[in-house]
Structure 1
Amino acid sequence: MTNKQISEKLQKIFFELLEIKNLPPDLSMQNTPEWDSLKHLQLLTEIEKTFNIEIDFRDSLKMTSVKEIEELIKSKIS
């Protein structure tokens, strides 16, 4: 899977769950009010399904920005 494909799939997930169209790498839980703890769990679940990966608890705590999420996905699918 290419970086572009990963980004496109993530963008779709974020749009479906948070209604965020533009997905800059610096988008994070800290600067996005609608990205609360419940939405975070929903994002993680959808990411696991979409990319067919498992995200453990420790990794889930680190995934607080789009950049961190993309990096984790890349590491899991390579």
Structure 2
Amino acid sequence: MSNLEKLNKVLCDTFDIKKIEDINDEMGPDEIEGWDSLGHVELVTNLEEVFDIALNVVDISRMYTIGDIKKIVGKYGVEI
């Protein structure tokens, strides 16, 4: 499974998204139901577990869109 597929699975599982094709890199909490403060914590936990990384607080607070998530996990050596 590629890292993009892993990320898509995390997003689908965390936010109960039925079809990953329905979302894009510009989407964030305003467009994705369930991406609230609790959903954000769950997202971070799932990303850290799946990619075996430890995100710092600044990066966690800068996850505004799916595109941001891709860039941030890239900083930890995860190529998407």
Same topology, TM > 0.5:
yes
What TM-score do you get using the length of structure 1 for normalisation?
0.84
Stretches of structure 2 that go unaligned for 5 or more consecutive residues are: none
Q: What RMSD, in angstroms, separates the aligned Cα atoms of the two structures? A: 1.7
1:11 paired to 2:47: no
Higher helix share: 1
CA contact (8 A) 1:6 1:70 kept: no
CA contact (8 A) 2:25 2:67 kept: yes
Q: How many residues align?
A: 75
Q: Distance in 2 between matches of 1:5 and 1:73?
A: 14
Q: Distance in 1 between matches of 2:30 and 2:77?
A: 27
What TM-score do you get using the length of structure 2 for normalisation?
0.82
